[in-house]
Structure 1
Amino acid sequence: MTRKRLNNKRMPKMTALALSAVLLSQLSATPALAGDTLPYEGISAKGENQPYQHGYTSAQIMDWTPESDIYGELLRARVPLQPRNAAFAPTQASPELSPDTQMFTMSGDYGNAFFDSTPYTNKFGQYLYNYWQYTDYYGYWHGMASAGVPEELYDPKKDWTERYFEFGILNIPNPAYTNAAHKNGVLSIANIFFSDNDRGPQTYKQMLVQDENGEFPVARKLVEMAEYYGYDGYFFNQEEVAKGVAPADIPTYKRFMKYMRDQGMYVQWYDSTVDGTGKIAYQNEFNSANSPFVKDAQLGQVSDSIFLNYWWNHDMLTKSRSHAESLGLDPLETVFAGVEGGNDSFGRWKQKYDLRWNLDENGQPMNSIATLGADFTHNGLDEDMGNSSANHRADSEYQWMTFVRDRAWWSGPNQDPTDARRNANANLADVYASGANWDGIAAYIAERSVIRGGNFFTSFNTGHGLDYVRNGTVSSDQEWSNINIQDIPVTWQWWIDTAGERLDVDFDYGPKYEKGARYDYQSIGAYNGGSSLVVNGNLNAENFLRLFKTDLTVNEHSKATLTYNKPTAADASSLSLGLIFAETPNEVVKVEVPDSGQQTDGWKTVSLDLSPYAGKNIAALGLSFDNNDSTINTYQMNIGELRITDGSAAKPEAPEGFRIDKALTNTDEMVVTWDIEDYDKVKQYNLYENGAFVGGIYDSTYYIKSLKHMRGELAITAVAADGTESEPTTLPYDLTAGVQDVEVAFDVYGDASVTWKNPDDTAGPIELTLETEYTNEPFTTTVQADAGEQQAVITGLPKNGQHYVLNISIDGQAPVTVTGQLADLEITPYAKELVTVTGKTYTLALPTLTDWHRLYVYENDVPREFGVTYVSKKFPYIVRGRTKLSELTFTPASTTSSLKLVIEDYAGNRATTILR
């Protein structure tokens, strides 16, 4: 795409919010260029065995299997896509806004880390997407190194042009983000990206290979990957500028996409390549030059939609609508007008391309909307603070800035979705973003909801925290991020109806949280999870805070349970649950909380009877804060939990099959597994270690990054739709009973020398079982050591660096596990059939070895030099991922010279192929 940041070349200058006078003065510094998400340090550093994602080349896709993919079993999304409620205009922030306009959000997940893209970790300062209600499709704009790239090749301190390693053409969605997307009815979309610089010698031709039957093995594998990892489709970003797509390949490319669409994948095409010529020429509108990549005259519909490049105007978008309709396509399903998040080429928050240009004569969007880089609100913190070498976006104390910037992007400069349009004449002191040329997304996209049925539960958990709280008590004091367990976001941030002064609303992350200059409330923190909802300020008139758009049925058993904390002195105020019924959408029915003006001693839970409203449908709900004709200057109310139940959500059974899969005692890590129940019965599993919360997920496995105790009890519970937890299934463990301090060393023959320390009361033989993992050719071997022995040698092992799992058990007891890679002592020579000779010219195809690193070409024993992307340097070898595609074609200096190729892998092994 125009921004081309998948592997993070210099990030564009991002935008800023006028958060306060203090922040404005900070933002006046000279902007720098934001960098990548740097590896976390200290206790937040990635665990030695922590699963993380990687990119995929076309060859790796073709060879993909669930068994061979690194960490594959720990990176699956399991939450099924949830249905969304039918549109109901009376409870929209803008009732006149058509709900048919769709939103494609292409953004990072937790950030843009090359080797640290994990589903969950102990770091608060990650980007947590919190606006699913405005999104229909979430695509992942992320750069990740291909599988097997050694992490030591990445030096985060070096310039972005000095990344001499390979990025994949495919980035699949982070599974935790897919789970969160599906929970909110959003499709999760992988990204396929071809670019001369960003992907070096990788080209679309390697993807479009066909077998003897004319079928596409890569396309077939892409469908299998989506089904296994649980995501929904692909975004194609074809931007090879130098050569484009060969005209003869265009029909093949279309058939490739059509195959995937026919298999149920959602497919979106980027407005880059022109039909017929295959050249890069951004149309910035939907017309005959790019529409055949959506609907072809011969093939029919080959993709679902197009992401238009950004340089459009009202006339171009009007013609886009007309062209779609002329093809029998709905422009609101097919055409997405692109917006680059944070584009400040013309000033901070001053988008040159105005979404008002997409409105028709009735004020309705003519086409749908797509944005690239909504995470700029987080990623741009460093440059906006005037120091690109800092890592403010990872620091807990700066996260409040991200949250306010997010609200300005989505809810508009006034942080109010009912007033999402910009006011160019407003004083910066009166709004929270300069926004001189930007309306919030809420001005164009009607909010959606999946809250339906008879049960709903929220603890206002945004998916991260500075500690984890359970029923008002801190269960774990570690910071964390885990969007798997993010509650359905508050629908409107913030919609308040009042005739008086508007209260402030925020998420309260507790006393450790830096809430910024704007907020002044007593930090209390969560009741369950990482945050609560806090409302504070001068209460001089009733404030009705609308929270959730819903379609909830009420019966004779329905009730609401509310947990709240009022830390300020007793006053005349009252708190009520506000219900808006579909039958009377202009009326708020208040169900008052008794004695809610009294100061509480911590958290208080009340139950409210909803049976008088049996037979009605709750179309929206919120909270009313009433001053009751008094003036209350220091009002504060924290809401920790809200439940709506009708008695139909059964308490889940305790989980079955709970067991330790890997006890990684060397690093205090562990992997546990259990039997997963259907999502209609269980929405989440919670894991505890000796009573302390470890993490939550809807899955059958979990990676524990840091055990706090070597012995004790693990417990797991299942959570129902109304938040009810099952009884725990417990699992006693004692890691002190097994061997300790295991070390594995390999000699020059590839044999493994294993040493360990026995516990004091060792009795019985010791068994060592080594098996390879993440391979389609599994290998297993077992050796026995006598009781009391503390060393063993394992011979006959594969010698190509395969990943292994070594389990060591004493007398048949639960084993201790260590993992690693076997010795890498072998390399296969470069295959001569990969060389194409045309006259005097040689063209080299990329090696098919999974671990090749460099390819040397010697003419009369003198190495040829090859240019790389981004810089003018040349190297005496082809470097994987960075040598230019054009450099793979060369003409020797002489027709009689000797030519040989030497291939080298990541371990330094070399093999020679004589060409002539």
Structure 2
Amino acid sequence: MTHHPTRRTVVLTPAAAAAALLTPATRATAAPAQDDDLQPYASYWFPDSLPSGTPGEGVVWRSLLGWTPEGDPDLAFNRSTTPLAERFTPVPVNASARADRARIASLVSFHPTAGNPSQGAATADHYALTHWAYLDELVFWGGSSGEGIVLAPNAPVVDAAHRNGVPVLGNVFLPPAAYGGQLRWTRDLVQRDARGGFPVAEKLVQVATAYGFDGWFVNAETDGGDPELGAHMLAFVEELKRLGAPHGLRVTWYDAMTANGSVDWQNELNAANQDFFLASDTMFVNFDWNTAKLAASARLAQDLDRGRYELWAGVDVESEGLHTPVDWDAVLPAGADPVVSYGFYRPEWTLGHLPEGRTPGQFHAADDRFWTGESLDPARPGGSWRAPASAVADRSTVTDLPFACAFNTGHGLKWYEDGRVRSDAAWNQLGLQDRLPGRRWVVRTEGARPQVALDFADAWRGGSSLLVDGAPDAPVTVELHAVRLPLSTATVVRLAQRVVSGGPVRVELGVALREPDQAGDPQAYAFLPVGKAGAGGWSEAEVRLASLGGSGTVHGLAVRLTASGPVRWRLGALAVRDAEEQIAAPSGLRVDKSSGDGQFRLSWRPSPTAPRHYELHRVLPDGTRRFLTGTCARAAYVKGLAAEPGEKAVTFELRAVGELFTPSEPIAVTHPW
């Protein structure tokens, strides 16, 4: 496996090197330090003692031992309220993808450690990860000696991941001395109190449970330790796992510190690090592995009565992305089960490698190639890059009614509701992301294959829609969600669609009532007419499934398009229900804080019907509503508001929104300018 000469430096540089130097230029992206800055940010700490000197602009040094939920002013904004959904594995769409074998972890830096907004921001330029179907664990990567070395994930990432059944881990990063690491922080982490307990471990569990995420990635890379420190670290990890177990928390250990307390990357599981593996749920193996080391690691894991797929073989894609040279046969030998699982380091390359002025569409095109492969069709994998879709079976959480998808990726250039623009501002908020099709895109046709993509030029709801663009000379079936939904005589599917140009198009809904017999076999759909559509605006149509027998289970959803000549067709939403949705309104909306420059913090009491999320609008003097933000939390922050001419007070409206995007009745509050 080819690497840069100083692999360990590459590992640290993205998250730590610049911040550790603490020069003004490196802090330019951090939040401005203002007394009246009401913006909530993702949380980060040092375990106990703080650095000497003065923090950089926008950086706040905090001690984790001094943190309490009651004293955290941003807790309401950082708390995830979306439970971790259960997943199932449908029959793989290609014969090379293995079910219940290798898994994939991802270490992602969504933003520098400091200044990371708690609830999204007014830009669409964001790593809006959508390929959750192939992930088993996400690490919220970050931390640095100049900002803080314990990093908690912000709520939008956790909400989106949980909706798709993916646990999210915070990061404990003890950097090397070359990047400002201090051995005293390692000793702070593993300190014991008078009763022999580990107070920092207790705080880590308290943070994870209060914030609603799933555990910690422990990365100890500050050298200079001894066997005594190594023993303390092992006992700390064991206690962290023990304390977190009743809460369903997990621990992943990074292959750096060894049992003797020194930092010595092993690039395999062996006697030097096996005790840390046994103390953890999984271990991330450093990047310089090879075929022999991974095979030996798999054997040792099994000899220790642990699963070999509890080892993540690290794959560094930060610099070269899907062009990274990887000895895939060492992990994924042809025609055999994978040797171990694997983990991507910094797959947000799919965004970062694009030039200035990049668009959301360009990002998703690159991201689809990374996760699906060069063919852009997981049913037809191939190419030198072993995309996850070619090796790992996708998973789905779509098992209950009602279910809806508006193909919203969690960012956009505008905000749409029922096909109308409710805000012209760009935005990102991953907590608003839909459960998107996991197999993007399986297209079956005897003729020319059209392009299929998530597109941002128009939407039914949110910021994006599904666009099919081509000149089909035969019927085209675009497979959507793998599901396990109950079917009854009352089941109805509603679609919002639009023919942008060309047409007319005959649209049919595909419903699969069983899974294929074996991996790689095509799904068998029954097709029900939706109608014929010509170029124009958005329209809605309902399809009743009673003709399919009135009982059983729906296993797949698709659309089939028949057109003559070029056509551009959008699917804006797909919703399945067996009853109308009733959403109760929240209550107690209030402005908690405001500033003279148009910042507001608001909070409310939750809806009793457990909605999908909440949406906050501003009511303008002419009675129109302007979308401001959405969140799964019970608090929201907005900024940049200004009074309209003659407006003496600002009026906010809040609605709870259900799984079918049904809004509750609004509640309102008015606040003087």
Q: What TM-score comes out, normalization by structure 1 length?
A: 0.65
1:862-889 Cα offsets, whole Å, 9 max, x none, are xxxxxxxxxxxxxxxxxxxxxxxxxxxx
Alignment of 1:527-606 (within 5 A): 527-571=460-504, 573-582=505-514, 586-596=523-533, 598-599=534-535, 601-606=536-541
AA paired with 1:102? R
Q: CA deviation at 1:231?
A: 0.9
Q: Is the 8 A contact 1:37 1:113 kept in 2?
A: no
Q: Give, in whole Å, the separation in 1 of the partners of 2:212 and 2:18.
A: 32
Alignment partner of 2:551 out of 615, 624, 629: 615
Give SS of 2:368's match: helix
1:175-234 Cα offsets, whole Å, 9 max, x none, are 110111111111110011112233433531111111111101111111101111111101
Match of 1:846 in 2: none
Match of 2:658 in 1: 720
Q: Give, in whole Å, the separation in 2 of the partners of 1:421 and 1:278.
A: 44
Q: CA deviation at 1:370?
A: 1.0
Alignment partner of 1:700 out of 634, 638, 647: 634
Match of 1:308 in 2: 285
Q: CA deviation at 1:723?
A: 2.1
Distance 1:727 1:54, change over 3 A: closer
Distance 1:325 1:56, change over 3 A: same
Distance 1:93 1:686, change over 3 A: farther
Match of 1:193 in 2: 173
Q: Give, in whole Å, the separation in 1 of the partners of 2:30 and 2:319.
A: 28
Q: Give, in whole Å, the separation in 1 of the partners of 2:485 and 2:28.
A: 43
Q: Is the 8 A contact 2:133 2:394 kept in 1?
A: yes
1:727-771 Cα offsets, whole Å, 9 max, x none, are 21233x1414xxxxxxxxxxxxxxxxxxxxxxxxxxxxxxxxxxx
> Higher helix share goes to which structure?
2
Q: Give, in whole Å, the separation in 2 of the partners of 1:406 and 1:36.
A: 27
1:640-660 Cα offsets, whole Å, 9 max, x none, are 11101111x641112122222
Distance 1:450 1:722, change over 3 A: same
1:397-448 Cα offsets, whole Å, 9 max, x none, are 44433222211111112222223331xxxxxxxxxxxxxx422121222111
Distance 1:342 1:360, change over 3 A: same
Alignment of 1:611-690 (within 5 A): 611-613=546-548, 614-627=550-563, 631-632=564-565, 634-647=566-579, 650-664=581-595, 666-677=596-607, 681-690=610-619
Match of 1:88 in 2: 90
AA paired with 1:415? L
Q: Give, in whole Å, the separation in 1 of the partners of 2:360 and 2:79.
A: 28
AA paired with 1:730? A
Match of 2:15 in 1: 7
Q: Give, in whole Å, the separation in 2 of the partners of 1:37 and 1:442.
A: 38
Q: Give, in whole Å, the separation in 1 of the partners of 2:37 and 2:77.
A: 15
User: What percentage of residue pairs aligned between the two structures are identical?
Assistant: 25
Distance 1:238 1:225, change over 3 A: same
Give SS of 1:310's match: coil
Alignment partner of 1:249 out of 222, 229, 238: 229
Q: CA deviation at 1:106?
A: 0.7
Q: Give, in whole Å, the separation in 2 of the partners of 1:357 and 1:377.
A: 24
Match of 1:270 in 2: 254
Q: Give, in whole Å, the separation in 2 of the partners of 1:215 and 1:138.
A: 29
Alignment partner of 1:261 out of 226, 232, 241: 241
Q: What TM-score comes out, normalization by structure 2 length?
A: 0.88
Q: Give, in whole Å, the separation in 1 of the partners of 2:254 and 2:339.
A: 19
Alignment of 1:181 onto 2:128: no
Give SS of 2:130's match: coil
Alignment of 1:106-505 (within 5 A): 106-109=107-110, 111-112=111-112, 114-143=114-143, 166-195=146-175, 196-201=177-182, 202-241=184-223, 243=224, 245-263=225-243, 264=245, 265-275=249-259, 277-295=260-278, 302-332=279-309, 334-344=310-320, 349-360=322-333, 362-382=335-355, 392=356, 395=357, 397-422=358-383, 437-505=384-452
Distance 1:677 1:258, change over 3 A: farther
Structure 1 stretch 93-102 or stretch 167-176: which is displaced more?
93-102
Alignment of 1:39 onto 2:22: no
If you compute each CA radius of gyration, which structure gives the higher value, 1 or 2?
A: 1
Matched residues, number: 624
Q: Give, in whole Å, the separation in 2 of the partners of 1:644 and 1:317.
A: 45
1:791-812 Cα offsets, whole Å, 9 max, x none, are xxxxxxxxxxxxxxxxxxxxxx
Q: Give, in whole Å, the separation in 1 of the partners of 2:361 and 2:27.
A: 18
Match of 1:104 in 2: 105
Q: Which runs of 5+ in 2 are unaligned?
A: 1-7, 20-24, 49-62, 518-522, 620-624
Distance 1:376 1:80, change over 3 A: same
Give SS of 1:417's match: coil
Q: Give, in whole Å, the separation in 2 of the partners of 1:40 and 1:283.
A: 35
Distance 1:190 1:6, change over 3 A: farther
Give SS of 1:115's match: coil
Give SS of 2:493's match: strand
Q: Is the 8 A contact 2:584 2:665 kept in 1?
A: yes
Alignment of 1:68 onto 2:71: yes
Distance 1:169 1:623, change over 3 A: same
Q: Which has the higher contact order (CA 8 A, sep 6+)?
A: 2
Q: Give, in whole Å, the separation in 2 of the partners of 1:46 and 1:189.
A: 31
Distance 1:46 1:602, change over 3 A: farther
Structure 1 stretch 91-100 or stretch 561-570: which is displaced more?
91-100
Q: CA deviation at 1:636?
A: 1.0
Q: CA deviation at 1:584?
A: 6.4
Distance 1:336 1:125, change over 3 A: same
1:58-88 Cα offsets, whole Å, 9 max, x none, are 1111111123335233221111111112x22
Q: Give, in whole Å, the separation in 1 of the partners of 2:73 and 2:132.
A: 29
Q: Give, in whole Å, the separation in 2 of the partners of 1:126 and 1:721.
A: 25
Q: Give, in whole Å, the separation in 1 of the partners of 2:490 and 2:341.
A: 42
Distance 1:534 1:361, change over 3 A: closer
1:561-604 Cα offsets, whole Å, 9 max, x none, are 00101122443x411111122266741111221123x23x3100
AA paired with 1:197? A
What is the root-mean-square deviation of aligned Cα atoms in Å?
Answer: 2.5
AA paired with 1:138? L
Give SS of 1:592's match: strand
Alignment of 1:50 onto 2:53: no
Q: Give, in whole Å, the separation in 2 of the partners of 1:46 and 1:554.
A: 56
Q: CA deviation at 1:670?
A: 1.3
Q: Is the 8 A contact 2:77 2:118 kept in 1?
A: no
Q: Give, in whole Å, the separation in 2 of the partners of 1:138 and 1:123.
A: 23
Distance 1:734 1:267, change over 3 A: closer
AA paired with 2:509? L
AA paired with 2:83? P
1:24-78 Cα offsets, whole Å, 9 max, x none, are xxxxxxxxxxx98963999xx9993211124210111111112333523322111
Q: Give, in whole Å, the separation in 2 of the partners of 1:37 and 1:475.
A: 34
